[in-house]
Each structure stands twice: as structure tokens, then as C-alpha cells.
């Protein structure tokens, strides 16, 4: 039974004289991959930033599983189970791959100062658990051999996978991917498509996706929203969107 | 070569422009009149020196340095070397007071206070990446907490020590709360202001703090309740009577030294542990990328606050000990220069590197004592060293190789 997980209505974001997002409405269901596409500057990432709490939307309502989250600071939004990746990967570059995954588990680790100073059994146990958890995700992403390397030294494709692992280790309910295929080679893109499918099947996570790569979007999404100039043009299943003349016009211009 | 000469010529001209107002236009007073007497020969000599240096000496030096840069490298400490050098330092520190004279032990105590302060600030600046220019404010809070508790309520050192840490921590927390959403330069300026505010408060709250005179007669720490002094107050036994010794001032100095050592070791232990703990990892992550941290549900304000408060607590302990050692506190001891010195220790040592901080604390405390004849040039030499460090070794004397959690396969 799929229900609505994220509900966005009447979302607008104004930067000075520019209305970057204007009346955007969509919802993401619990077991769905929902994609937002559109030409450059259409306002996709701004929508992401509003949903993730990085911007305070000018107006609009964002409800996550029955709880309004608009206007919440981003770290609180993340604790509600909405976690995102970034267009240009934002890893902790000087920390090791493993440490990146440990930091992400901060909320679930025993962070008591004194138990840490004294290395109490409870503290050790929680550290070990975090390590095991991290190791599991490294295996899952096939990057375990790089565990002790600095994250900034990984190949770009691996950095992307690590960033997704870092999100998933927080056990999100909604994973937001901002152009995850940018800079990947064709093989890596196919792997990414598989990965998204697998994440949703095995970890009960809904995916909100921004992507320019059409084959990936069409292959992986259940529904797609097309945006242009901050406004949604249409929302629907991939086939319908592909055939929509307004979408073709937005992408290719007037005939 | 041609370009060298050209550069040297320009540099000499610039030097001329700069030194003309200083030497070229000397103001001479004779009776009622004041007139300007130029000393062009001095200016010309100065320009000549600059020219020769720029044209011939500098290229040679650069040439030599460039050639050797491959073989000339300072060590980067790895885990094992760090542990070894820390153990060695501790061993030396333990036997030090029993083989050295009074002056040496006294200086060493001073060094240990700065080690403690340096390690405390290292948590804030080195680990969490928050530039704090008002660190001395927390040091002052610690010192005055003990001084005031003694003066107004007759507290002893051991009771006041935790209070000093607590008060400094509270001040750190209260200041950090509004301030830590600022970044970089802004944070530095506000903390700088904070340090000054504390000092001005201490001067102006005359009725409580004694203003510029400060508070004197603060007792030294007791040993299990027994005062370490020539004569005990009514109804108490002094330590040397208890032990059946002759009173010797050297014992007091050694005792203070050992206490400073204990405090410094506690600071070292805590900062060493804490960087391997989740909160330490969070500090480093926050230093690298605050937005990514937020996106993972980490609350940046809380994390920064924990670093700021912890640093302040150590400064507070240091302050209380300082008050006990001096027996006197006044606002003069807590000027901005003091903050700058502690920050210099952290930067010179290598941000985040504990061994580096210890080494830098030793260098920056001992050098001025050794070179007392050059006391007037102290600040200049200080500045010169900092500039040179930034040019050739911006990562500090002994940069840290981060302690990493390793995944065993």
C-alpha cells in the first residue's frame, strides 16, 4: 500500500526580483522514484533546497509524513528522514572514506563525552556498531578497498557512490539525489540506475531525483515532473511526459 | 639577472620612500623652534642595503633553497612517532624539577601553563576550525573565579578549580551561543571584542575586582589540606612540618610544577581522546563542510558550541592555576597580546597537532627568557618568525597526521 510521503504545495521562492520557483506542487509516495527535470535554470535545485531546509521558501507548504517541515532548519529536516546529495559532491575530503560514514551516523552514536573519555563498554559497543554499519555500506557500494583513504582522493564515480552511501547510512525515508549522474561514464550511469532500483527495493526509501540524463530518468522514474522558468509544466508517467508537446517545446524550443 | 637588477632597483626606491619620513626628515627641537633636518646619507645607505640584498643576496639564497628543497623536509609525525615523542616529553618533564635549578623549574611551570592553554585553544582553532582571538578572556575568567572566591568567600584552590573551569565553560557557552553562527573573520572579530570586554570589566568593576590593582594574597594550593608555606594559619599544620622537613621554597616551586604538569597532562589526555570520539569527528567534518554536515542532520551550532566550551574550560583551569601560582591577579595579565601568543603557539606548532603545540609552547616561552637582552625586539622577532613560518611552513612545525579510524579487513 503506498501512501503519500512528501507533499509539496504552492511552493514559491523569490530571490529579490526573480521568482525562481513559482507555485510548484507535487507529491512523492513511499515507494516511488519521482524525478524533476527541466532545462538549466528551471528552478529544480531551488526546489531541492527549499524541501531540504537550506532555503526558507517565500511561500508554500511542505509536509513530510503528516508533519509540516517548511521553515525548519536543514539539520532538523534531515532528522525527519529527508537526506540529500549535492550537484557537485560534498564529501569531507580530508576525512577518510570510513570516517565520512561515521560522521553521518552521529545521531545514532553514543556521543556522551564522559563515556567516550573513559571508553565505557557502552561507548565501545556503539563505536563498533557504527564501524560495522559503515563496513556494510562500503561493501554494498563496492568501495570497501578504499575505506582508509581520504575521500577527496577517490575517483569521481566512487565519490558519488560514497555520497549516496553517506546518505543511506542515516536511514532516510526520502533520498534526494541532485544530478547523481553528472560526470559519470556510461557504465557508471547504468550502475547508478541499478543502484537506485536496488535502494528502493531493499531499503524502503523513496527517491526524489533531479537529473539531466534522459535515459536514466526514463529508465528509473515512476513519475516525472517537468519544470520550466520555475513553474511545473506537467507531471506524469515517463511515457506521457515524453509525448507531451509542451515538454518537447520546452526542451527543443519552438518549431 | 637583468630582472633581478630591475626588481632590486624598484625595491630600493620603495625603501627610500618608506624610510625618508623616518630618517630623512628628522625633527629636531632647539629651544622654542622645531625644524626638520634631513639625514640623506642614512636614507641612501638604507637604499643601498636593500639594493644589494635584492640584487645579489636574495637570488643566491633562493637558488640554494630551491636546490635543496628536495632533500630539506621537516618531518610529518605519524602515529607511532607521535606517541614516542609524547612519552619522551613526559619522561623529561617528570624528572626535570629534580635535576634543575629554581629558575629552570619556574620557566618550565610557565611553559606548562602555555601548553595547557595551547592545547585548549587547539581544540577550538585546530580541531573545530573556529578562529578565536579572545581566548585570554576565558583564562581571565578562570583566574578571577579563584581570586574572587578566595577574596570574598575564602575558598581554597581545590574547591575553586572546578568552579573556575565551570565558570569559564559557562562564559564560553553564553558567548558561543549567539556568536557561532558567524563565520571566519566575523567570528574572529567578535571573540577579539569579547576578550577586551572581559578585561575592561575587570578594570571597571572596581568594588569587586580591585580594578587595575587586582587581587593579591591568593594562597597557593594546599597538599591534602595542608598549606605549603613557611607558617601555617592558626590551627593548621604545614606540609613540611607534617613531613618533618625543613621549609624550603624550592619544594613549593616543585609542587607547583608537578601540579601544572598534571593539569597539562589531563588536557593532553582529554584532547587526545576527544579527537577520536564522535564529537571530534564532527568537529573536523564541520571544519570541512558545514552544509554537508547539516544535510546529514548534524546541528552545527551545538557542535561548535561543544568545541568552544571545552576550550574555554581548559583556559579556566589554566587561569585558576595561574592565579594560585602568581598569588596576584590583575587585568594586565590578560591583554590581547596574551591571546595572540597562545594563538601563535597553536599556529606555529601546526594546527591540530598536539606535539607541535607543546613544542611551540616551549619555544615561545623559553626564547624570550633566554634572550632577555633582546627584550625590546621581542615582538619584532616574533612577527618575523610568524611571517617566515607562513612563507615556508604554513602547516606548522610538526603538522599533524590525522589520527584515523582504520577498517580492518
Q: Note whether B61 and B98 are same-domain residues.
A: no
Q: How many domains does chain B have?
A: 2
- Domain A1-81+172-255 fold is Rossmann fold (3.40.50)
| Spans of all domains in chain A | 1-81+172-255, 93-170
In a shared domain, residues B298 and B232: yes
- Look at residue A164 in the predicted model and tell me its pLDDT: 95
Nearest to A102 among B273, B292, B405 (CB): B405
B73 falls within a domain: no
Residues of B in contact with A167 (CB under 8 A): 296
Cα(B333)–Cα(A95) distance, rounded to whole angstroms? 39
Q: Are B51 and B186 within one domain? A: no
Are A90 and B295 within 8 A, CB to CB? yes
Verify that B278 and B315 share a domain, yes or no.
yes
Q: Domain range spanning residue B139?
A: 79-392
Asked if the structure places residue B401 within a domain, the reply is no
Of residues A92, A138, A144, nearest to B285 (C-beta):
A92
Q: Are residues B12 and B60 in the same domain?
A: yes
Option in B277, B285, B300 nearest A95 (CB): B285
Residues of A in contact with B288 (CB under 8 A): 92-95
In this prediction, residue B222 carries a pLDDT of: 83
In this prediction, residues B167-188 reach a mean pLDDT of: 87
Residue B340 covered by a domain = yes
Question: Measured between CB atoms, does B292 come within 8 Å of chain A?
Answer: yes
B181 interface with A at CB cutoff 8 Å? no
Specify the pLDDT at position B408. 67
Give the model's confidence band at B67: pLDDT under 50 very low, under 70 low, under 90 confident, else very high: low
CATH number for the domain that contains residue B162: 1.10.3470
User: Is the per-residue pLDDT at B148 higher than 90?
Assistant: yes
Query: Which of B293, B296, B407 shows the shortest C-beta gap to A135?
Result: B407
Say yes or no: B128 and B216 in one domain: yes
Beta pairing, strands A4-15 & A18-29: antiparallel
| High-pLDDT (> 70) share of chain B, % | 94
Strands (DSSP E) contained in B104-228 are 215-216
Find the chain A residues whose C-beta atoms sit closer than 8 A to any C-beta of B.
Answer: 52-54, 73-76, 78-79, 83-84, 86, 90-96, 98-100, 102-104, 106-107, 109-111, 113, 116-117, 127, 131, 134-135, 138, 144, 147-148, 166-167, 170
How far is the C-alpha of A180 from the C-alpha of A90, rounded, in Å?
12
Whole-number mean pLDDT of chain B? 85
pLDDT for the residue B72: 44
* pLDDT on residue A254: 59
Please state the ipTM of this predicted complex: 0.90
Q: Does the predicted TM-score (pTM) go above 0.90?
A: no
Same domain, residue pair B150 and B60: no
Which among B68, B91, B118 is the end of a domain? B68
Determine the pLDDT at residue B102. Answer: 87
Q: Residues B9, B95: one domain?
A: no
How do the pLDDT tens digits run along chain A, 255 residues long?
A: 578 999 999 999 999 888 999 999 999 999 899 999 998 888 999 999 999 999 999 999 999 999 999 889 999 999 999 999 999 999 999 999 999 999 999 887 777 788 888 888 888 888 899 999 999 999 999 999 999 999 999 999 999 999 999 999 999 999 999 999 988 999 999 999 999 999 999 998 999 999 988 889 999 999 999 999 999 999 999 999 988 888 888 877 755
Looking at the fold, whether B207 and B348 belong to one and the same domain comes out as yes
Q: How far is B399 from chain A (nearest CA, A)?
A: 14
CA dihedral B364, B348, B72, A148 (to 10 degrees): 140
Q: What is the pLDDT of residues B44-56, one digit of tens each?
A: 888 888 888 888 8
Contacts of B333 by beta carbon, 8 Å cutoff, 6+ apart: B140, B143, B322, B326
Tell me, yes or no, whether B370 lies in a domain: yes
Please report the pLDDT score of residue A110 as a whole number: 72
Optimal mutation site among A92, A137, A165, interface B, most CBs of chain B within 10 A: A92
**Angle, CA B276 vertex, CA B275 and CA B279 arms, to 5°:** 65
CB B130 within 8 A of CB B180: yes
B289 touches chain A (CB under 8 A): yes
Residue B49 lies in a domain: yes
Residue A210: the pLDDT is: 94
Domain contains B21: yes
Do the Cβ atoms of A94 and B288 come within 8 Å? yes
B38 with B93, same domain: the answer is: no
pLDDT at B377 over 80: no
Nearest-CA distance from B385 to chain A in Å?
28
- Asked whether residue B170 falls in the same domain as residue B49, the answer is no
| Alpha carbons A55 and A21: distance in angstroms, whole number | 12
Of B279, B292, B298, the CB nearest to A113: B279
* pLDDT greater at residue A214 or residue B83: A214
Residues 213-242 of B with CB under 8 A from A: none
Residue B74 in any domain: the answer is no
Whether residues B91 and B62 fall in one domain: no
Mutate to test the interface with A, among B295, B304, B305, B351 (most CBs of A within 10 A): B295
Q: Region B172-184: what's the mean pLDDT?
A: 84
Does residue B409 form part of some domain? no
Contact A134 B402 (CB under 8 A): no
Give me the pLDDT at residue B71, please.
42
SS (H, E, C) chain A: CCCEEEEEEEEEEEECCEEEEEEEEEEEECCCEEEEECCCCCCHHHHHHHHCCCCCCCEEEEEECCEECCCCCHHHHHHCCEEECCCCCCCCCCCEHHHHHHHHCHHHCCCCHHHHHCCCHHHHHHHHHHHHHHHHHHHHHCCHHHCCCEHHHCCHHHHHHHHHHHHHCCCCCEEEEECCCCCCCHHHHHHHHHHHHHHHHHHCCEEEEECCCHHHHHHHCCEEEEEECCEEEEEECHHHHHHCHHHHHHHHCCC
Residue B68 is predicted with a pLDDT of 54
Report which of residues A193 and B242 the model is more confident about. A193
Amino acid at each position: 500500500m503506498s501512501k503519500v510521503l512528501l507533499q509539496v504545495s504552492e511552493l514559491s521562492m523569490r530571490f529579490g526580483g526573480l521568482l525562481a520557483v513559482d507555485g510548484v506542487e507535487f507529491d512523492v509516495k513511499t515507494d516511488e522514484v519521482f524525478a524533476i527535470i527541466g532545462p538549466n535554470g528551471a528552478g529544480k535545485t531551488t526546489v531541492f533546497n527549499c524541501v531540504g531546509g537550506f532555503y526558507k521558501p517565500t511561500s508554500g507548504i511542505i509536509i513530510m509524513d503528516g508533519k509540516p517541515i517548511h521553515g525548519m532548519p536543514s539539520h532538523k529536516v534531515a532528522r525527519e528522514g529527508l537526506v540529500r546529495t549535492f550537484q557537485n559532491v560534498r564529501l569531507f575530503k580530508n576525512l577518510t572514506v570510513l570516517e565520512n560514514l561515521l560522521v553521518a551516523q552521529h545521531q545514532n552514536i553514543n556521543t556522551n563525552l564522559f563515556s567516550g573519555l573513559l571508553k565505557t563498554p557502552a561507548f565501545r559497543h556503539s563505536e563498533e556498531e557504527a564501524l560495522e554499519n559503515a563496513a556494510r555500506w562500503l561493501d554494498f557500494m563496492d568501495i570497501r578497498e578504499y575505506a582508509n583513504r581520504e575521500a577527496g582522493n577517490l575517483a569521481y564515480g566512487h565519490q558519488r557512490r560514497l555520497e549516496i552511501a553517506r546518505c543511506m547510512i542515516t536511514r532516510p525515508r526520502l533520498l534526494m539525489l541532485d544530478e547523481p549522474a553528472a560526470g559519470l561514464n556510461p557504465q557508471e550511469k547504468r550502475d547508478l540506475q541499478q543502484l537506485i532500483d536496488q535502494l528502493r527495493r531493499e531499503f524502503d526509501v523513496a527517491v526524489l531525483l533531479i537529473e539531466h540524463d534522459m535515459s536514466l530518468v526514463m529508465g528509473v522514474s515512476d513519475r516525472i515532473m517537468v519544470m520550466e522558468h520555475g513553474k511545473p509544466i506537467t507531471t506524469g508517467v515517463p511515457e506521457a511526459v515524453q509525448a507531451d508537446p509542451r515538454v518537447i517545446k520546452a526542451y527543443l524550443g519552438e518549431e | 639577472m637583468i630582472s633581478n637588477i630591475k626588481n632590486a632597483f624598484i625595491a630600493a626606491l620603495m625603501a627610500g620612500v618608506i624610510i625618508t619620513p623616518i630618517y630623512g626628515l628628522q625633527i629636531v627641537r632647539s629651544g622654542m623652534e622645531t625644524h626638520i633636518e634631513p639625514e640623506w646619507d642614512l636614507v641612501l645607505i638604507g637604499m643601498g642595503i636593500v639594493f644589494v640584498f635584492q640584487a645579489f643576496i636574495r637570488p643566491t639564497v633562493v637558488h640554494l633553497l630551491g636546490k635543496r628543497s628536495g632533500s630539506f623536509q621537516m618531518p610529518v609525525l605519524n602515529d607511532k612517532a607521535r606517541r614516542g615523542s609524547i612519552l619522551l616529553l613526559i619522561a623529561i618533564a617528570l624528572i626535570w624539577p629534580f635535576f634543575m635549578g629554581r629558575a629552570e623549574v619556574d620557566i618550565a611551570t610557565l611553559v606548562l601553563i602555555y601548553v595547557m592553554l595551547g592545547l585548549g585553544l587547539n581544540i577550538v582553532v585546530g580541531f573545530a576550525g573556529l578562529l578565536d582571538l579572545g581566548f585570554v578572556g576565558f583564562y581571565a575568567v578562570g583566574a578571577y573565579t579563584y581570586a574572587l572566591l578566595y577574596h570574598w568567600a575564602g575558598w581554597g584552590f581545590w574547591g575553586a578549580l572546578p568552579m573556575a573551569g565551570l565558570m569559564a565553560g559557562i562564559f564560553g557557552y553564553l558567548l558561543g551561543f549567539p556568536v557561532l553562527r558567524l563565520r571566519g573573520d566575523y567570528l574572529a572579530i567578535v571573540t577579539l571584542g569579547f576578550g577586551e570586554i572581559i578585561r575592561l570589566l575587570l578594570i571597571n568593576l572596581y568594588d569587586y575586582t580591585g580594578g587595575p590593582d587586582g587581587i593579591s594574597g591568593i594562597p597557593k594550593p594546599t597538599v591534602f589540606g595542608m598549606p605549603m608555606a613557611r607558617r601555617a594559619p592558626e590551627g593548621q599544620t604545614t606540609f613540611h612540618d607534617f613531613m618533618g622537613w625543613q621549609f624550603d621554597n624550592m619544594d613549593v616551586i616543585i609542587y607547583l610544577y608537578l601540579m601544572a604538569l598534571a593539569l597539562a597532562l589531563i588536557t593532553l589526555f582529554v584532547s587526545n581522546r576527544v579527537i577520536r570520539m564522535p564529537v571530534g569527528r564532527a568537529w573536523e567534518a564541520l571544519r570541512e563542510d558545514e552544509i554537508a554536515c547539516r544535510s546529514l542532520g548534524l546541528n552545527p551550532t551545538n557542535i561548535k558550541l561543544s568545541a568552544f566550551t571545552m576550550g574555554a574550560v581548559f583556559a579556566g583551569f589554566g587561569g585558576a592555576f595561574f592565579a594560585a601560582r602568581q598569588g596576584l591577579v590583575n587585568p594586565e595579565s590578560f591583554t590581547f597580546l596574551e591571546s595572540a601568543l597562545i594563538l601563535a603557539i597553536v599556529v606555529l606548532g601546526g594546527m591540530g597537532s598536539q606535539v607541535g603545540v607543546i613544542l611551540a609552547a616551549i619555544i615561545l616561552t623559553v626564547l624570550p627568557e633566554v634572550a632577555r637582552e633582546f627584550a625590546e625586539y621581542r615582538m619584532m622577532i616574533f612577527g618575523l618568525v610568524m611571517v617566515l613560518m607562513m612563507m615556508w611552513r604554513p602547516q606548522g612545525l610538526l603538522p599533524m597526521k590525522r589520527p584515523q579510524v582504520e577498517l580492518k579487513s
